[in-house]
Amino acid sequence: MLGASGFLHPRFLPSLLPAMRRYGSTAAAGFQAAATRAPESLAVIDERGTMTFRELHESTNAIARALREVGVKQGDGVGLFARNHRGFIQAQVALDKLGANTLLLNTGFAPPQLREVCKREGTRVLLYDEEFRAVVEGGASELTRFATWAEGEVPETTLEQLEAGQDRSDLEPPAEPGRVTILTSGTTGTPKGARRTMGRQGLDTLVGLFGRMPLRTGTRNLVVAPTFHSWGGMHMLLAAQLGATAILHRRFDPEATLASIQEHRPQVLAVVPVMMQRILALGDEVIGKYDTSSLEMVCASGSALPGELALRWMNTFGDNIYNLYGSTEVAQASIAMPDELRAAPGTAGRPPRGAVVRILDDEGKEVPTGTTGRIFVANAVQFEGYTGGGNKEIIDGLMSSGDVGHFDEEGRLFVDGRDDDMIISGGENVFPREVEDLLADHDDVMEAAVIGVPDDEFGQRLKAFAVLREGAASDEAALKAHIKNSLANYKVPREIVFLDALPRNPTGKVLKRQLAESD
């Protein structure tokens, strides 16, 4: 999979290795290597047109110098509050070149969240899209600010104005690579900051990743997953390291995504599963209007990929899904390839080279094959702890993913749910994922979520929330009967509530806290 045209192409490493020595495993290293190797190839396609690797490299040299002139230096905390577009990449690469510590901010933040996170992380400077002005004025008005994307006149200096008139030659690299802080999904409260130094990822990690997700050099990669989150950000970084063209849209729209595939002919699409669901919801008539035959790989992560969704996607678009299981904290744990998803829908696949996954019981001992336990992971790129203090539980060098799961007899990993999602009803343990997947398998159900709510008799009882497909006729009794046909009585929700949509964060994870608060 890593043959002559792949990552280990002999023309590839001579430019990447010196750049990684200068900047670590950062976006700056990847884009500089690509600018050395293929300066006139396209680095970015977005709503403003195209930008070559040479143009991006020189632009970020100039922006870095301008930021340095206004006081941004190695180790300074800088927030990046931007959508998927060239300005996000320019800002990130310029900060890498200065060795600044970048805080990637969730574009769904309200002013109180922005204020709390920026204060906690020691943010001094904010680079942000002009559309978030009201949020920034309400939550971070005291910070030094620059605009990463603006339409029309704005009070702040824009990236274009920063680079104007600056020296565009290479800078001296920082003494140490900066850190990137990615925020956890925050489905149960204010997101934590997960700290990661960008000098640690080595070639062995990349080889392991590409061994199960065979990305290659010179492709076009449509990244619709949010780049502020670990999955979209990883694909932006990989595009840089592979010299691929990143195609970016500021907002996800299902049909616009199909139109972009037809227009730009990407080989790779990076998504979170809910985006796949919304594309499929367009229906065969709309989907059939667009030529998506260029797609070779649909890389999914960020939230659980139900087996039924994987099968529906592959039946529509071909066997092209590569599903990565991991988290902001543990990074990559396992990858499911298309043949594995066909053979065992719902599997999280197998660990790539360089990753170790163990299933442990409450005493830290490995459980037998087929037995559900806590998932622990070891690899070279796990986070270094939460910025506010604390870490994930670690046993014998393996870090808790926060999930429970099991391996089957073929060595495939299955994620059964969150370890803190377990519902104890009448003394019986229930993991919501099993019930959610069964509901999602029903022809009338588009998506479902299950939570535990207080119950005087049983301690907790199951409550389900379902979104029906357009024109569906199923009612609560029919869905309960569907569950009862496959699962024990104590796993049948006492109540099923029908919603127009499940509340989700920008990376597609269901906000079960909001569902519980609505009870």
What's 55-200's CATH class? Answer: alpha beta
Q: How far apart are the first and last CA of the chain?
A: 50
Residue 476: predicted pLDDT: 94
Range in 111-125, 186-200, 422-436, 491-505 the model is least confident about: 186-200
Q: Which residue has the higher pLDDT, 1 or 200?
A: 200
* pLDDT over 50 at 187, yes or no: no
Indicate the pTM of the whole model.
Answer: 0.84
For the segment 27-57, what is each residue's pLDDT rounded down to a tens digit?
888 899 889 989 999 999 999 999 999 999 9
Residue 488: predicted pLDDT: 79
Tell me if domain 55-200 and domain 252-418 are identical in fold: yes
Q: Which residue has the higher pLDDT, 23 or 302?
A: 302
Residue 54: predicted pLDDT: 97
Residue 8: predicted pLDDT: 47
Q: For residue 12, name the pLDDT band (cuts at 50, 70, 90).
A: low
* pLDDT over 90 at 374, yes or no: yes
> What is the CATH code of the structural domain delimited by 423-517?
3.30.300.30
Residue 259: predicted pLDDT: 98
Mean pLDDT over residues 81-101, rounded? 96
* pLDDT over 60 at 3, yes or no: no
CATH topology of domain 252-418: Rossmann fold (3.40.50)
Helices (H), 80-132: 86-98, 111-121
Q: What single string gives the DSSP state of each residue in 436-477? A: HHHHHHSTTEEEEEEEEEEETTTEEEEEEEEEEPTT----HH
Residue 153: predicted pLDDT: 84
For the segment 305-323, what is each residue's pLDDT rounded down to a tens digit?
889 999 999 999 999 999 9
Residues facing 332 on adjacent strands: 326
Residue 202: predicted pLDDT: 54
Residue 389: predicted pLDDT: 67
Residue 148: predicted pLDDT: 98
β-pairing verdict for 331-336 and 321-327: antiparallel
Map 242-302 to HEC letters: HCCEEEECCCCCHHHHHHHHHHHCCCEEEECHHHHHHHHCCCHHHHCCCCCCCCCEEEECC
Residue 30: predicted pLDDT: 85
Give, as one character, the DSSP assignment of residue 292: -
Residue 201: predicted pLDDT: 52
Q: What are the boundaries of each domain within the chain?
A: 55-200, 252-418, 423-517
% residues pLDDT > 70 (the chain): 93
Q: For residue 224, name the pLDDT band (cuts at 50, 70, 90).
A: very high
Give, as one character, the DSSP assignment of residue 155: S
* pLDDT over 90 at 424, yes or no: no
Q: How many Å apart are CA 44 and CA 438, to the nearest integer?
A: 41
For the segment 476-493, what is each residue's pLDDT rounded down to a tens digit?
999 999 998 888 788 999
Mean pLDDT over residues 76-90, rounded? 97
% residues pLDDT > 90 (the chain): 61
